[in-house]
Amino acid sequence: MEKDKLNLPQDPLTLFHQWFELAVSAEPNDPDAMALATSTPDGHPVVRMILLKQADQRGFKFHSNEQSLKGRHLAMNPNAALCFHWKSLHMQVCVQGTVEIAPDSETDEYFATRPYERQIGAWASDQTRPLENREILEKKIKEFQKKYPPGTVPRPPRWVGYILNPRRIEFWWSHPHRLHDRFEYTREENGIWNLQRLYP
């Protein structure tokens, strides 16, 4: 039987950007939202939504608090997975790989472009730690506003950029009768991507 000649780019990042562009034009909310799965040291998975900031040859970049649950997981086990679901397009992209922390200079530069309220929020929030009541958070916001007027807010050292370097990316596109298209890219040690079609 003749092998399927997939008319797809050799580099999955090219295909990702094509799909992401479609998502940006089609999704009413958060086309950049993705689920991030990490694991506890004894192998229990935990998943939550985050926002994609950038996707390039290094991988998929997002920002978070290094002391949050995900941050503590990633420090112990850098293996993680992402999943995008663009409901309006009936498309899904799943990514697996290894996460590393982005260079400080790059994250400083990006943090400086964030709206003032978000910069202050990053200082005031001990993400994922217990919070007795909302007033405590609001008090901390006021304190940090006093400490850092607009234009002077440094990046909290625990607020970091993460880059998930992919080793597998699967593109899923819904078809009638559950006979979906699935394309799997896997990366070899030498960086070459292999592409194959999967049963739905």
Ligand X SMILES: Cc1cc2nc3c(=O)[nH]c(=O)nc-3n(C[C@H](O)[C@H](O)[C@H](O)COP(=O)(O)O)c2cc1C
Positions marked catalytic: 178
Q: In this chain, which of 50, 83, 89, 101 binds ligand X, going by CB under 6 A?
A: 50
Q: In this structure, what token pair is assigned to residue 169?
A: 């990316």
Cα angle 149, 155, 158; round to 5: 135
From 12-20, 64-72, 75-83, 102-110, span contacting ligand X (CB under 6 A): 64-72
Q: In this structure, what token pair is assigned to residue 168?
A: 């597998």
Q: In this chain, which of 24, 26, 49, 198 binds ligand X, going by CB under 6 A?
A: 49
From 13-21, 60-68, 79-87, 129-137, span contacting ligand X (CB under 6 A): 60-68
**64 touches ligand X (CB under 6 A):** yes
Task: List the interface residues with ligand X, window 87-146 (CB under 6 A).
Answer: 127-128
Q: How far apart are alpha carbons 77 and 42 in whole angstroms?
A: 10
**54 touches ligand X (CB under 6 A):** no
Sign (positive/negative) of CA torsion 92, 93, 96, 100?
Answer: negative
Q: Among residues 54, 71, 70, which one has the least CA distance to residue 17?
A: 54
Q: In this chain, which of 68, 79, 98, 165 binds ligand X, going by CB under 6 A?
A: 68
Distances (CA, A) of 177 to 56, 89, 174, 180, 194: 34, 16, 9, 8, 28
Q: In this chain, which of 51, 83, 89, 101 binds ligand X, going by CB under 6 A?
A: 51
Task: List the interface residues with ligand X, window 167-186 (CB under 6 A).
Answer: none
Nearer to ligand X, 63 or 155 (CB): 63
**33 touches ligand X (CB under 6 A):** yes
Nearer to ligand X, 162 or 171 (CB): 162
Q: Are 45 and 73 in contact (CB under 8 A)?
A: no
Task: Name residues whose C-beta falls within 8 Å of residue 9's C-beta, 6 or more positions apart in sequence.
Answer: 15, 18
Contact footprint for ligand X (CB under 6 A): 30, 33, 46, 48-51, 62-65, 68-70, 127-128
